[in-house]
Amino acid sequence: MELQLKIPLRNLTRNRRRTLLCVAIIALGTAMIYAVLGYVDQTLYQIRFGTVAQYGHFQIASPTLWSEKTEGYDYLIQDGKLAQIDQILKQQPEVEAYTTELSFSGLASTDRKTKVLRATALVPANTAHDYNEFVIDGQGQGLQPTDRGKALIGKLLAEELQLKPGDFFRVTTTTVDGAYNVGPLEVAGIFTVYNTQADSQLIFVPLSYGHTLLDTAGVAKVIVKLKNLDETNRVAAAVQQQLTAAGLDLEVRTGFQLAVFYQQAIAFFNMLFGFIMLSVAVLVFFIVLQVLTMSFLERTREVGTIRAIGTRSSQVFTMFLMESTFLAILGAAAGLVLGWVLGQGFNALGITWEPPGVSEAVPVQLRLMWSNAWPPFIVSLIATLLSALYPSIHSARLRIADALRTS
């Protein structure tokens, strides 16, 4: 082991400038991958957070609602079924809270304008699905459990209708039986979910108001919040099993299943990260290959000497590979530190951008977790070791007599 450690380690100090160049290339590659991964991870984290905020961890509803084959409001869950669902959810210790919602479409109008709206009637201030946190600072307040004729209104819709907190507007819709119904609503607060479509159409009203407007006691779905995101699939499956066992024709869908955008975003960002990672790895591979080939070729006579005095070719190969491993570890570790420092600096700049379909600029942040450090470290290690493979094999297989003749 001494043989495999001493010479490779000493060789790193032999040509310091070249070693530094190699370390710098590997470090730069590692830092780039670390930063890109930090950006992708932060974006996915935001999307995941947004998905859970929008859909909950999972939802329970009639299969006809999920399949969008419903006519009218035949998918509504009535009181008796709600009591059974309540029993089932209470048996799951992972369930932190749940709430019920009712959705409908209609028209929002003031004396000046009328706009199409999508309304969600919900239990105000229920922690399972609370939109109060999206109320813009200084633009009113969230819905309270005692509120009845109040609403939260999307920022762009409020702008279109020229509404501000305390103003009134009318909602026109049809009851579950198809009759027109109109009701007044006071703007409690204006919110943004940073989504152009949602901000221009969505309003939130108390569930009791929705029941009155639609003339029903039913709800469209039950939204469940868990204590731990990672338990989503397991608990959702367990609840589905219990619903079926109880003879309830209801279907559980996780927030991530419902959010088509989430699936697409995951696929896109994984592809983006894969592409950038591969590009950087290829770049590191070729540059390090060139540097190592030159470095190993310079030692041809030395290889001839140690082979002549009894070193096996496999030992020569191991020595070169060990040297490359040390180089890779050094470069990758330096890269992580560099990436972390530069990332922190970048985060401190507070740069923002407006993604497509998003109504407000969002900060561009890098999520520099140590758990994200492994992929760039491993990729740099593999890229460096792959680039060392050819010169190492070439050096190990040299004919001794030819190697000794090299000047």
Partner 1 sequence: MILETRQLSKTYQVGQEEIHALRGVDFQADSGDFTVINGPSGSGKTTFLNLIACIDRPTSGEVMIEGQSTNQLSESHLAELRKHKIGLVFQTFNLIPVLSAYENVEYPLLLLGLNRAERRKRVMGLLEEVGLKDLARRRPDELSGGQRQRIAIARALVTEPKIVLADEPSANLDSETGKQVMGIMRHLNQDHHVAFIVVTHDPVVTQYAQRIVKIRDGQLSEENSRGASTKNPAA
User: Where on the chain is the footprint of partner 1 (CB under 8 A)?
Assistant: 2-3, 6-7, 10-11, 13-14, 301-302, 304-315, 399-401, 404
What type of residue is 154?
G
Closer Cβ to partner 1, 146 or 314, answer by number: 314
CB of 289 to partner 1, least distance (A): 23
Cβ closest to partner 1, residue 11 vs residue 126: 11
The residue count of the chain comes to: 407
Evaluate whether 403 touches 57 at the Cβ level (below 8 Å): no
DSSP 8-state symbol, 133: G
- Work out the burial of residue 347: count CB atoms within 10 Å of its CB; fewer than 13 is exposed, 13-18 middle, 19 or more buried: middle
CB of 316 to partner 1, least distance (A): 10
Q: Whole-angstrom Cα distance, residue 247 to residue 280? A: 55
Query: Residue 161: how many CB atoms within 10 A of its CB?
Result: 20
> Is the CB of 98 or the CB of 296 nearer to partner 1?
296
4 vs 208, beta carbon nearer partner 1: 4
Residue 11 or 200 with smaller CB distance to partner 1: 11
- Residue 99 CA to residue 194 CA, distance in Å, equals 23
CB of 324 to partner 1, least distance (A): 16
Which is nearer to partner 1, 10 or 90 (by Cβ)?
Answer: 10
Q: Quote the least distance from Cβ 385 to partner 1, whole Å.
A: 22
Q: How far is the CB of 331 from partner 1 (least distance, A)?
A: 20
Question: Which residues make beta-bridge pairs with 154?
Answer: 191
CA-CA distance, 243 to 26, in Å (whole number)?
Answer: 54
What's the min distance (Å) between Cβ of 305 and partner 1? Answer: 4
- CA 148 to CA 168: how far, in whole Å? 13
Q: Which among 97, 98, 143 is positioned nearest to 119, based on CA atoms?
A: 143
Inter-residue contact 224 to 89 (CB < 8 Å) = yes
Query: In the Cβ-directed half-sphere of 360, how many Cα atoms lie within 13 Å?
Result: 14
As measured in angstroms, the least distance from the Cβ of 302 to partner 1 is 6
Q: Within 13 A of 361's CA, how many CA atoms are on the CB side?
A: 6
Nearer to partner 1, 214 or 398 (CB): 398
Identify which of residues 190 and 319 has a Cβ nearer to partner 1 in the complex: 319
In whole angstroms, the minimum distance from the beta carbon of 254 to partner 1 comes to 59
* DSSP H helix total and E strand total for the chain: 14, 12
